[in-house]
């Protein structure tokens, strides 16, 4: 096995998951609709107080994105577990960690990327613009892959359970808190005119850590769930 065959296995699995998700359009649309609805309800609930709405905007966007990402976490491995293809992946000659990374990448492209594309429109609704908007998009671009990587661990641990959604939430929500704190803080500081290099560096470090470590426990959890 060489690097070319490994890259081909990654790209083929990524393409397969993308095709499956696009055929099941609800998997793509539901998180985005949830994201839009939650942010809109917050905007309507605060009334005409634009100062309050602007101060809440970073937290509202980030919490909504976090919950929308969690809404589709089970789709990472659930269909493969039900049709038996997950066992074939674990028996593959390729490293399971690379295959896990391909599936997590597909989940982010289907869930995280659409949220980032929709976020600027919702920021206009919340009154967030300028430096705050640019920082928000950057934090989402760095932070949403972390949500998918960490969430994959929780899904792998509960993939054999019939109703693992609540358990997944209990497992991954505490691990999401640092991403939420640094992401929200960066947007608030940027909107106030302060430098945000520290918060962005922490998010980048968390992403690097998640990319390096998350596939390993995910692969181990999948083996335990199927044993």
**Model pLDDT for residues 125-159, shown as the tens digit of each residue:** 888 878 888 999 999 999 999 999 999 998 888 88
Which pLDDT does position 49 carry in this prediction?
A: 72
| Sign of the alpha-carbon dihedral angle for 85, 90, 91, 96 | positive
Segments forming the whole domain that contains residue 113: 3-226
Averaged pLDDT, 63-78: 87
Is the pLDDT assigned to residue 160 strictly greater than 70? yes
Pair 199, 189: CB distance under 8 Å: yes
User: At a CB cut-off of 8 Å and minimum separation 6, what does 70 contact?
Assistant: 147, 151, 168, 169, 172, 173
C-alpha span between 93 and 91 (Å, rounded): 7
Pair 150, 172: CB distance under 8 Å: yes
Averaged pLDDT, 108-133: 88
**Cα-based distances in Å from 112 to 72, 84, 128, 177, 227:** 10, 26, 20, 17, 31
> Model-level pTM?
0.91
Q: Kindly state the DSSP code that residue 78 receives in the 8-state scheme.
A: H
Which pLDDT does position 65 carry in this prediction?
A: 92
Phi, psi of 93 (to 5 degrees): -75, -15
Pair 72, 154: CB distance under 8 Å: no
Tokens found for residue 221: 């959890």
Tokens found for residue 129: 């613009």
Count of domains observed in the chain: 1
Tokens found for residue 131: 């430096």
Tokens found for residue 69: 């990402």
The widest CA-to-CA distance across the chain, in whole angstroms, is 62
Confidence of residue 101 (pLDDT cuts 50, 70, 90): very high
Count the alpha carbons within 13 Å of 146 in the hemisphere toward its beta carbon: 26
C-alpha span between 95 and 108 (Å, rounded): 21
Q: How far is CA 197 from the centre of its chain?
A: 22
């Amino acid at each position: 096995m060489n690097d070319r065959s490994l890259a081909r296995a990654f790209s083929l699995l990524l393409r397969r998951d993308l095709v499956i998700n696009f055929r099941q359009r609800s998997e793509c649309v539901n998180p985005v609709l949830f994201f839009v609805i939650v942010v809109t309800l917050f905007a309507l609930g605060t009334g005409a107080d634009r100062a309050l709405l602007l101060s809440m905007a970073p937290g509202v966007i980030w919490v909504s994105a976090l919950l929308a990402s969690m809404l589709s976490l089970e789709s990472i491995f659930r269909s493969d577990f039900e049709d038996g293809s997950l066992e074939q992946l674990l028996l593959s000659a390729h490293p399971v960690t690379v295959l896990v990374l391909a599936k997590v990448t597909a989940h982010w492209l289907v869930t995280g990327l659409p949220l980032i594309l929709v976020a600027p429109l919702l920021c206009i609704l919340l009154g967030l613009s300028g430096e705050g908007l640019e920082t928000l998009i950057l934090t989402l671009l760095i932070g949403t892959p972390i949500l998918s990587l960490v969430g994959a661990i929780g899904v792998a641990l509960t993939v054999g359970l019939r109703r693992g959604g609540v358990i997944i939430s209990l497992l991954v929500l505490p691990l999401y808190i640092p991403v939420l704190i640094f992401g929200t803080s960066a947007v608030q500081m940027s909107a106030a005119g302060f430098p945000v290099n520290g918060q962005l560096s922490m998010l980048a470090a968390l992403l690097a850590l998640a990319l390096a470590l998350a596939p390993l426990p995910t692969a181990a959890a999948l083996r335990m769930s199927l044993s």
